[in-house]
Homo-oligomer: A and B are copies of this chain.
């Protein structure tokens, strides 16, 4: 950490460079930031603005603008994320319908909009109107019959392939970072890792466009995860407009946390669920101020989306499916991403079309599965045999025996369930934007609805069984299959992501019913316990692990008995630690050390003998400072002595000009003793967001522990390959 106080307060000690040289305080790609340092830089900036604000009215207004810029950024993120989500929904709606036909009165209308505007439509035939023509009607003037079916089937597959090909090509050519759901990478970025371009403008544009394409193509994937990525790109874009956020990687991440909340908010129409998701799942450093701002951003986003109102209802937002899995790397097809996408799309389209439960969009499917069977419901799932002698109010229909439609629906649901499970496994991790929420929910909802119908029929036919006797009298409405579907969806999603509180909140914000909190909660608890018994990692953690990102999970508990001395470098037998001395090395010595090693920084000690620690110098800043001095300072040559001390001694007149580097020295490096238990060290790394920590014994420097060392040690202790941690 550059000590801010020293940088500004001890200007008299420096004979060059009052303003920081360019690039100081930035990080290299695929490196980890130092949270404490970022925080201290921001406080410094804040202090400067506060003290300036007393000088003039203009400065005072500037300080007010600075204080409010956080809220402005949140507002802008909410507006843009909500707008993009609305546009995506509208476009997906239109393109999904384009696979089946076209609206003659206006080609940019979706099926539903087309028939809305038609006056001849009655309530029962909402879906049928002369303006909407299937391709077979338009091309060969036939709407029924085998040849029309085959033509529609063929064109459905062709459109799907066309969309998928376009999407995968766009991703490959313009923005490789736009593929996948993006949540694992966003988790990693929020934990303090730098991946340049991952949240860039190109990614934003391409991800938005290709998301529409892949969802429209009918692949078994969802748009929720990618929407979080899109919202974070918005967040990154707007934070780059304000120097408060663009110049500070720590502050920028506060904005990104809130943007992730806004993303979930528009994906599900669940602002509170979004904030909790961001808190529980995505964010690493989540101060309470961010909680509040996230809520604001999530609310603005949800409000904007509702104003656009892409579905004509303001409650349930459409659903799609999303998945990604660690086995991707081993598939052969994975080497040919375009071919892979085409093949999977073709298989999906060919199998999905004939089954009504896979042909429709997954969100419609989920919505139908959640619904209870009212008297007016025309769905096949509600084909019950009614008792003609009974007259009851519409909203209190007793359990009834299933009719033939329900049995057909059960078979189709079972086939759809198997297909959905298999195809999502192959869809996940393709090189296109893809999310996992909706496919998991669909799988759970299908299984849940089937169980629900089974229990309902059992209860109807055997209401004298002990399990039913006490709470289900004949003629009562005691089993609601739609609730089983909802609980199944929650359980499946909970098992995949290991969300808990945020899952329950999202589910009840989705369904609008606070009453179902107990069954939802029970489902979430059970699925988490069962899933944890198979392995502690959710899909996002597994993905992070697979990619080798240096992510220090807040939820992992470290309970081993090792001490700092077991983890620090150098180990016994290794070469001694590379250190700088405060007043005895030449510029050339330092340059050689930099060249020969690739460490991110070097401890500075009093002398090689005493090993008493003075501070820590960052590699990047050392390089910049020496380069700068060689260019701009006369007399600094390879022989110049590098001084990290406060007052360099008077040198003999002929000796080369010394290079004073105290200003880049972090005078408060973090230290622990060699006896510190590793669990404490892990805790410190997590909570303070450190990049490295020095190890001392009785004031003498012994070694260094970096974040990577900690992660490798943790992998080793969990019997995993420590080499799986790949970046710094």
Contact = CB atoms under 8 A, between A and B. Distances in A.
A559 B47 contact: yes
A681 B603 CA distance: 21
Interface centre among A275, A505, A676, A683 (most CB of B within 10 A): A676
Nearest to A299: B521
A576 interface: no
16 contacts: A36-B683, A43-B679, A46-B559, A47-B559, A47-B561, A272-B505, A272-B517, A275-B501, A288-B555, A295-B501, A295-B521, A606-B698, A615-B673, A667-B673, A667-B676, A684-B688
Given A3-B675, A275-B501, A688 B699 contact: no
Interface of A: 1, 3-6, 36, 39-40, 43, 46-47, 50, 271-272, 275, 280, 287-289, 291-292, 295-296, 299, 303, 500-501, 504-505, 509, 512, 514, 517-518, 521, 525, 554-555, 559-561, 563-564, 606, 612-615, 667-669, 671-673, 675-677, 679-680, 683-684, 687-688, 696, 698-701
B699 A525 contact: no
A617 B615 CA distance: 27
B680 A40 contact: yes
Please state the number of chain copies in the assembly. 2
Contacts of A509: 514
Nearest to A509: B514
Nearest to A687: B687
B699 A680 contact: no
Contacts of A668: 564, 672-673, 675-677, 680
A677 B5 contact: yes
A190 to B, nearest CB: 15
B271 A612 contact: no
B295 A500 contact: yes
Contacts of A687: 687-688
Contacts of A564: 668
Nearest to A613: B699
Contacts of A287: 554
Contacts of A559: 43, 46-47, 50
A558 B198 CA distance: 33
A501 B671 contact: no
B698 A612 contact: yes
A134 to B, nearest CB: 39
A518 B295 CA distance: 11
Contacts of A299: 517-518, 521
Contact of A699 (B1, B500, B612): B612
Nearest to A46: B559
B614 A698 contact: yes
A108 to B, nearest CB: 30
- Max chain B CB contacts within 10 Å: which of A1, A667, A669? A667
